[in-house]
Amino acid sequence: MVINYASNHTIIRETYKGSVFMEQQHFAELCQKLNQQGDNISKSVLDEVNKYRAQYNKKKLPVIWIETNDSGDNNIAFLNTTYPYAGQVFTDMIDLLYSNSFMAAQGKNALNILEQAAEKYKGRFTLVVEGAVPVKDNGLYNIIIRTENRSITALEAVTWLGNLAEYVVAMGTCGSFGGPSSARPNITGSMGVNKILDREVINVSGCPVNPDWFVGTLAHLLMYGKPELDDLGRPTLFYGYTVHRHCQRRSYFDRGNFAEKLGDIECMFSLGCMGPRTGADCPYRQWINHVNWPVKANTPCIGCTNKDFPDGSSPFFLPLDKKGKK
C-alpha cells in the first residue's frame, strides 16, 4: 500500500516497508545539475524509472509518435543518445505503440495498429508530434498516411489523436512553434501543434531537440505527471535559464570583451549570438555525448529553441538589433 503526501512542494511516495523512491524535487535537481563528471541525465533518469516501475508495478508510458512536417532531425538526435540507448528507453520506459520510423509494420498493418492503439489507450497515451502542421489547403502539403481510399494529412491526424491523448508533447522547434517549416514565406501555412489543438501542449523545442530534454520530459510524465512549464509551454527543468546565464564565455561579456571574427575566444554577442534571449541549458548539458555545443565549437548560439526561430535569429551572424529584418 502506498501513501502520498506533500512536503515543501515535494511529492514523496512511501510504502509501509519504509522505502522511498526519488522525490520530485530531487528529480528536478538531477535534471538541472551541472555535467561535471561526464554523467548524463538520461542514464540517471532511466535508473530511477526502473526503480519506480519495479516498486509500484507501474507500466511503461504508452506513446504514439507521429512525424509531420520537419527534417527528421529530432528522432535522429534521440537515436544518438549513448546511454541509455534508444532500445533501452523503448524497453524500460516507454511503450511505443506507433511510430512510422521505429515500427516494423508498414502500410495497412501500421494504420490498423494506430487505430487500435488510439482506441485502446484513449485518455491514457502520450502523443508525441515531431514536426509542424501545414494547414493551407486543408493540410494537403503533408500527407502522413495514404490508404487505398483516401489520404490522411498531418492536420487530420494531429487533430484526431490530440483529442484522445492524455498528454501531447511537441518534439522539436517545428512541432513546438512552427520552426524552419514555418519560416518565411511559409507557403504551406505550417504552424506549431499548440496552434492546432485547443488544449495544453508540452513544447520540447530545439533544432534538433537534445535527447536529455525529451527523455527527461517523458520520465517526468511517467512518474509525476506534467512538469512545470514556462510561458512558452516548455519544461522549466531544461528551459528555465538562458544560454547566456551559464555560457563559458560570460565573463568576456561582463568585461565588454567581444569577438571580432569567428574563432576568437571572446564573447560572440557581437557576431550574432542569441544566448541572452534563448532559454536552454546547452552550456552544461552539451551535445554529442555531452562533449560539445555551438559556442564551445566557436560558433554563436542561433537560438534554435526560441519561438521565433529561425526568422528571429536571421541573419545568424549579425547583432541582435539587426536580426529579423524582412
Closest C-alpha among 144, 139, 132, 147 to residue 182: 132
Average pLDDT over residues 117-143: 97
Task: Give the pLDDT of residue 296.
Answer: 94
Given a contact cutoff of 8 angstroms between Cβ atoms, the answer to whether 128 and 78 are in contact is: no
Mean pLDDT of the chain: 88
Q: CB-based contacts of 261: which residues, under 8 Å, 6+ apart? A: 271
Largest CA distance in the chain: 65
Given a contact cutoff of 8 angstroms between Cβ atoms, the answer to whether 223 and 52 are in contact is: yes
Q: Give the separation between CA 90 and CA 215, rounded to whole angstroms.
A: 11
Q: Give the separation between CA 28 and CA 10, rounded to whole angstroms.
A: 10
Angle separating helix axes 41-56 and 211-223, nearest 10 degrees: 20
**The C-alpha cell that represents 241 in the structure block:** 535559464
Q: CB-based contacts of 92: which residues, under 8 Å, 6+ apart? A: 46, 49, 50, 53, 60, 84
Task: Give the pLDDT of residue 85.
Answer: 80
- Looking at residue 84, its amino acid is P
pLDDT at 22 over 60: no
Q: Give the separation between CA 225 and CA 68, rounded to whole angstroms.
A: 25
DSSP letter string over 289-312? Answer: TTTB-TTTTTS----TTSTTTTGG
Given a contact cutoff of 8 angstroms between Cβ atoms, the answer to whether 304 and 207 are in contact is: yes
Q: Record the pTM.
A: 0.88
Map out the domains of the chain with their CATH numbers: 8-14+21-238 (3.40.50.700), 241-326 (4.10.480.10)
| Weakest mean pLDDT among 9-23, 160-174, 221-235, 261-275 | 9-23
Q: Give the separation between CA 118 and CA 116, rounded to whole angstroms.
A: 6
**The C-alpha cell that represents 78 in the structure block:** 534521440
**Order of strands across the sheet that contains 167-171:** 94-99, 61-67, 126-130, 167-171, 202-204
Task: Give the pLDDT of residue 55.
Answer: 77
Task: Give the pLDDT of residue 1.
Answer: 34
Q: What is the pLDDT of residues 253-265, one digit of tens each?
A: 999 999 999 999 9
pLDDT at 9 over 50: no
- Give the residues across from 154 on adjacent strands: none
Task: Give the pLDDT of residue 130.
Answer: 98
Closest C-alpha among 163, 213, 169 to residue 192: 169
In this prediction, what percent of the chain has a pLDDT beyond 90?
A: 71
Q: Give the separation between CA 1 and CA 15, rounded to whole angstroms.
A: 6
Task: Give the pLDDT of residue 71.
Answer: 86
Task: Give the pLDDT of residue 265.
Answer: 95
Peptide bond into 185 cis (omega under 30): yes
Task: Give the pLDDT of residue 161.
Answer: 98
Task: Give the pLDDT of residue 51.
Answer: 81
